[in-house]
Amino acid sequence: MRKITVITFLVFMVEALVHYNQGLKKNNPELDQFIIPDNKQLGKIAITVLAFSVVTSLLIAGKWPTE
């Protein structure tokens, strides 16, 4: 399950950073580079992504209560 969590976290984190940059680009159309958020914001994003990665891993492993 740990491998699934790590892989899911990495994929979701990349996706989250892409969405973060899409939001920046929408508000700043002249922005032409990929931005990594400051540590506080990055930490918040990482915690959220980690939580959903764990849930996804539990669902895949069949350990999440479905009923």
For 27-52, the pLDDT digits (tens) are 888 988 999 999 999 999 999 999 99
The C-alpha angle 42, 44, 48, rounded to 5 degrees, equals: 115
Sign of the Cα pseudo-torsion (47, 51, 56, 58, in order): positive
pTM equals: 0.81
Q: What is the signed CA dihedral for 8, 10, 16, 19, rounded to 10 degrees?
A: -110
Domain assignment of residue 50, yes or no: no
Domain assignment of residue 48, yes or no: no
Domain that holds residue 61: 1-38+56-67
Instruction: Identify the CA nearest to 46 among candidates 58, 38, 35, 34.
Output: 38
Domain assignment of residue 33, yes or no: yes
Domain assignment of residue 51, yes or no: no
Q: Can you give the pLDDT at residue 65?
A: 75
pLDDT-based confidence at residue 67 (cuts at 50, 70, 90): low
Number of domains forming the structure of the chain: 1
Q: What digits encode the pLDDT tens for the residues 3-25?
A: 889 999 999 999 999 999 999 99
